[in-house]
Each structure stands twice: as C-alpha cells, then as structure tokens.
Structure 1
Amino acid sequence: LMQKMNDLRTPALVVYKHKVEANCERMLKLAKDHGVTLKPHFKTTKCLEVAIMQTGGTKCGMEVSTLVEADLLAENGFENVIYAYPISPHKTPKCAELSEKMKSFVVFVDNVAALKALEQWKLKDNKNWQVLVEVDTGAGRSGVQIESLDAVSLIKEVVKCGNVTFSGLYSHCGHSYKCKNAEEIKEVGKMATNKMLTLVDELKKQGITCPSYGIGSTPSCSKPAPEMSKLTEWHPGNYVLYDLMQVKIGSCEIDDIASFVLTRVIGHYTKGEDVFLIIDCGWTAISLHGVKDSEETSGYGLIVDHPELKLAHMSQEHGIVKSKDSTKPLDLSRYPVDSFLRIYPYHSCATCAMHPVFYVADQNDNIIDHWRPVKGW
C-alpha cells in the first residue's frame, strides 16, 4: 500500500522529489550556460539518489566533506570525487586507499605539513596524489590567503613534489552567506572570481599552469556574476534543497525549498497570559539556526501556510509555538491536538544531519521512496 504523508510518525523530514529534480536541473543548466563544469557538493543530503541527480546521471564530478561520503560514492561507481576538506596527516591512509581505488580522487591542501604527509606516502602503481590548493577569497575560514605570498609559495611546493600532481585551485566563497540580495551575491562572486583569476595569471607568469580553478557556494552559483563564466568549475551544495537562509540571502524563492519537517500538535497550553502550542519537533529534528531572527520573524523555522505562527522556543523534543503578534493570543481551536504543521528549516544541511531517513513525497503527498543518508566521518 502506498504510504500517505499523514501516516508518518512525526517528527519526519519530508523531501519533495520533483523540487529536488528541478533544483538539480536548474543548476546543471546554469553551469552549462556559463561554460563551466559543475562539480557539486554532496554534503547537504548525503543521499546516493540525490548525487545521481546532481551529476545529471553521469556519476562523475562530486565533492564530499567526509570520507564516508567518498566511500559511498566510490562503492556506487562514481568517479572524479573531490575531498573538499583540508586533509590532515592522520587521514592520509584512508585517502590513499580511495586514491588507489578510484580513477580520480582529489584532496585539498592548504598548508605545508599536510603536503609533506602526502609526499612521504607513496601510492601503489606509481600513481600520483591529485591535489587542489584551497585558497581563501574572503570567507575567512580554511584556505591559504589568496593575496598572500604564501599562496604562490605553497603551490610551488606542490609542483615540486614528485608524487603529487597540482590539480588546481578551489575557494568556498562562503562570505556570500552575508549577502542580503542577488546584487550583493553577484558582487561577492565577481570579487572572488577576479581574485582567483589574478592568482592564475601570476602562476602563469611563473611558468605554472593551473588546470582548474573554481569557486563554490549556493548563493554565488544560484545568482552568478557574469565574470564567473571565466572559471572552469562551480561547487555549490545546498541548492538541492535550499532553505529559509537562502531565501533571506536572495539565492532562491520560497517555492524552491524542497524539504520540510512534518510535525504534530501535541498540546494546548494557557499559563497566565501565555498561550501556546507544543509540537513534537525540538532541536533534534530541526536546526537551531535562525535564532538571531527569531524575535522579529517566524522563529526557528517558517510554519508553512500559517503566517500568524512563530516557532518561538525549542528544547530537545518539544517545540513551543506562539502567536507571531504578541498582542493577538492564539485561537487554539484552529490547531487541534494531533493536527499537522509543516516547518521549513533555516538551514537544511544541519536539519538533514539530524534525520536517519528522508521521506520522499510526490506532488500529491504520497510517500514514494525512502532515502537514507550516509552517516559519520
């Protein structure tokens, strides 16, 4: 028997397959129209079914943030996988295993210590390590500062290593998450691209060819600056599901959000002047992101089709829902006990990480599949 959405035990993460497909197809087309290769990130869903959609069925060219993700892709016939996380020496043995197993497994380096660990580890069959140098174009996280002499110096060290192949440059472009609209996103993408191209030109002057150079964040790739067509690769990830954060930034429309947490009302409470609902969705089922906006918005998520409601507080398994307008107490009769609410998350990556199974729905709210994300590191 086909399962209906209302048969699910809550809280449950529901994913609309048709929206995931549309988001994947749109990003593939954007990259193609700009003449770049899309090498998308797996980290949002960590579900094999989605990786196949992200690559347009080719199973070629994915990024991962953990080694268990890489294992899953390798075991299922994927090639050209990038471990998009700074490699540290203790992870070298596992990365060696994947490098020897796969046609192309690329690792990140942003410091000499990590590079030396690779240099000392000889792969079987005289195979070379494939290395991307991660550069920081403004996000302020990992990556060697792109304008510093350290960037060129590190790349020269990579090129000198006999058992290492310099595969190119990578930057996350995470500062696009501070933007408030599409124009700001495009400006960040333009500046990051220009910094990358400046380094590529400098390397060329010093006799070093850069095979690939790409930036990646869902905002910058969803609203690409024209200059980004000069890159070779894009690396977005969150776009497969999107979320409220992306809507707020200007990356997408609210109808592009492909996942939500389904929850039930479990109680009505009037305590003095405090009138509220409790739902069976706490911070183990939806991300605590959004706290900075919770006072003036819908709280820790957007309760779909209920602009009057606000997810005001959460504990581990309880969610407290109040009136968004404190001068208008809730009419509790509108939300019967055991009735359903749907909540769009502020951050879909973090919310996905909390769920062992994604319930995949069609446009008629039939549950047509179960996707199980790979867990661990």
Structure 2
Amino acid sequence: MTAESTPGPGIPEAPGSSGRRHRVKGRRRKPRARRRGARVAAWTAAGIVVLGGSGLGYVYFKLNGNIHSVDINQMLGTDRPEKVENGSQNILVLGSDTRSGTNKKLGGGSDDGSARSDTAMIIHVYKGHKKASVVSIPRDTLIDRPACTDTKGNTYPAADGVMFNSAYSTGGAPCAVKTVESLTGVRMDHYLEVDFAGFQKLIDELGGVEVTTTKDITDHDSHLNLKAGTHRLDGEQALGLVRTRHGVGDGSDLGRIQLQQAFIKALVKQVKDIGVFTSPKKLYDLADTSTKAVTTDSGLGSVNSLISFAGGLKGISPANMTMVTMPVRYDPNNGNRVLVEKTKAELVWDALQNDQPIPEAATKGTATGEANGVVAN
C-alpha cells in the first residue's frame, strides 16, 4: 500500500527573512530577540532532519564547524543528467547506518566501521516551492550500479544485479548519487545524509513524536514493542520504528518503507506544531544536534545554506506531501529482493523531470509489503 496525499517540502527562493534575522544587533537579551532565532524544519525516511541554526557570534561558527559536506558536483563531473531549470529541485536523502562511533551501539550489525544506507528517498520540490513528492527507493532493489569514485579517490567498477544500497556501502555519497541518477535519469540537485545517533538524539530533544499504531508491533531486532494505540515515541523507539522490518507486514523492506513514510508525516506535523522555540538554549541544543547529524553536498554545507533550505519548509504539513515507493515487483528467484517495474518507474521519473504530479497508474498494482500499521496523528 502506498501512503499518499497531495504534494510538499519547499526550498526557499533566497535566504530571505531567515538571513535578515541574524543581522540584528544589540537586542540579544530582549524577548523579541528570541523570535529572531532560526526556524526549525525537518523531515526524515529514515530519519531525515534538517534544522536551521542560530547565526550569533561564536554560535554560528560552532554550528558551521559541525557540518560535514561532500562536493558532489566536482566529483561527478559533467557526465550526469541535465539540470532542469524550471524552478524545481531534487534532493537525495539517505539514512546512514554507519557501524562506527556512537552509531556502532545502534546499528545492531557488523562492527567493522563500515556504513550502509537503509533509507533512501528522492524529494522532488515543485516549482514555486509549495509542494513536494517523496519517492522511496527500496534498499533491496536489484540494480545495475555504474562505475564510481569515492571521496578518497578510490574507483570501483560497474556491477550488474546488485542491491541498491551497495552503492553507498561501496563508494559513499558520490556513488549513491551517481547510482540514483543512472537509475532515474533525473539529476539530484542536493544530497542529505542523516545518521542513527543524531536522529535518535534529535527526536528526544524535540520531545518525541506522536504516532498511532493500528496493530501491535514487536521486533526484537530493532528493540521495538508497541501495542496498538497512540504513542509518543522517544528517540530509541522512533529509530526502532523506522528500522523495523520483521514487526509488520511481510517482513520486507517495502513494509518498513511504509512505516518510514508514516513517521515522516508525523515528524513534519510535530515540528510544525512546535514553531519557533522560546528557549535560546533549547534552540541551540537542537541546532547543535542537527548540524552534527547531517552530511550534505557542498551547496548545503554551511549554516546559512541550511537556514535558507529549512526556511522553505516552514509551511509544510502532512497534507502537502505525496509519498510513494518506486514501482517494484518481487524477484521470482529470491523473495527477499525486488526488481524495478521499469515501465511504471518511467512514469515516476518523467513526472519528476517535467515537474508534474506522479500519476496513480505509476504505483497501481506494484509490490507494497502489506504493512498497514502506523498513521500520523
């Protein structure tokens, strides 16, 4: 089943008012200054969250230093799909399942320091930056991966019939972006990666996220045990929810994607309801956690760029988002893998390329994972 509504997230057309708010001087201790803090906006498929930070003095430089970025454009060169100049933008968002540092305790898998991507979404922001469509790419999709080069200059040959998430584990962000562009024929304008530890901590600092489960969900692998009903999930529970695949549906990655999409809508609503925080310390803690949690392309690799980016998300509500899964079918030779339904997938990619809504025919009759278990409140 595909979770969907009408299209959402926007990208600001310029730094605009967010930028001007940072240049006010001599009023830091007055109540009005609090309203001149950064605007908060977030979404995650895995936990995908971006937070605009404060631009005051050392705080600005501290937050700026937190952000890790990758120069995707330089690394991929000119052998890419053509950039469409129609006002729309495409952002590849990955949830990083790294096995090192704090994430090692959360990963639940190999402790060799390797990294995987268990969540991948293309967010298409339509012209005017008022609507968006989110297309989830199942990690277990068998694809042909192009030759690519990682951030250290190591090159990897092309590979046929490999899992989609092998692109990230093989060559990191550059390889993941190149693989998505090869698969879709759509250029990715930006890249965002969110790690487990930062996602969990940020959910806690937001005060949790409220969701309703329509069925009991129990998954020992992801440490999740939820009875049917309404819950305010803390960071650990939220991470368990977006990672579980055995607690709902047929145990496939497709079922997990449906939970991730429902959680993203709940998260968007939570952030929208919070608005601008009145506590400067709370605001700083959120900004500090968020900027540490993300890796971006160089175009978003500064606090000012993230503020500008996040500022365009402030009007988003769950009703403004269309969320689908890339059209796939189960692999007849391996029930744990899926194959791209190429004809239907082309309907999705053509719609994004031409800044049009994704037609219902694109996802009708495709594999879903049968995980109808969570709804956003």
What's the TM-score, normalizing by structure 1?
A: 0.22
Q: Which structure has the greater CA radius of gyration?
A: 1
Pick 1 or 2: higher relative contact order, CA cutoff 8 A, min separation 6.
2
